[in-house]
Amino acid sequence: MNATEDPLSNRLLAQLSGDERARWLPLMEAVDLPLGQVLYESGRPQSHVYFPGTAIVSLLYVLENGASAEIAVVGNEGLVGISLFMGGETTPSRAVVQSAGRGFRLRAQAVKDEFNRAGPVMHLLLRYTQALITQMAQTAVCNRHHSLDQQLCRWLLLSLDRLLGNELVMTQELIANMLGVRREGVTESALKLQASGLIRYARGHITVLDRLGLEARTCECYAVVRDEYARLLPRTEPG
């Protein structure tokens, strides 16, 4: 079974025990997650939680004038919809698919029931929530204190961590919207990375050629987020 069909391609689901999998997996619905699909809107009730498999989802805050900025990115390490089990039911952010792929979803009531069992799943979801909060906080710090070049490297690395290969399908305009900056700034930074041999960009496809070079060029924010996810949610092989 490949990553587009197997719920355990999502690393959070892969950490479920045998009994938990027996309860959850029959309830899972495989779904296509096309580019630009909105999984939930600000302030509106959420019907499902989503577990990306090969897709990446951006959590965005959208201002009244329509401008937006990404506050976190979610891929095969986690889930979209923490407000459902944290008790808030809604959130002021918006969740949008930034890289198309497949995923799985679970009805809201099912995840609430599982969380309310107050067993291992609750602790797993709380650890994931802590890791997500760390990413949100570090994103705010990075956007305030670090250069656009560093922010772009951080964003590319976080996205790459959530994909199976080394290529992202992403326009510079979309990246600019995610980072909350002008498109011209992203173009300039991307050209610098390409000139340094770190990436290749053509027709909306970004290929990472030198991951270690990107890591050397980014700020400490990437490592803080990566290490916190590794600490709280160590990798578990499906099986």
**Domain covering 147-218 in this structure, CATH number:** 1.10.10.10
Domain extent listing, the chain = 7-121+138-142, 147-218
pLDDT computed for residue 236 by the predictor: 63
Residue that is written with structure tokens 């995610």 in the block? 178
Distance of alpha carbon 155 from alpha carbon 139, whole angstroms: 9
Calculate the alpha carbon distances from 84 to 23, 33, 34, 39, 74 in Å. Answer: 19, 20, 23, 13, 16
CB 54 within 8 A of CB 167: no
Residue 93 pLDDT exceeds 50: yes
pLDDT, tens digit (0-9, with 9 covering 90-100), for 101-128: 999 999 999 999 988 888 899 999 999 9
pLDDT, tens digit (0-9, with 9 covering 90-100), for 22-36: 888 899 999 999 988
pTM of the model: 0.88
Which superfamily does CATH assign the domain made up of 7-121+138-142 to? Jelly Rolls (2.60.120.10)
pLDDT, tens digit (0-9, with 9 covering 90-100), for 38-87: 999 888 888 999 999 999 999 998 877 877 788 899 999 999 999 998 88
Residue 206 burial (CB count, 10 A): 22
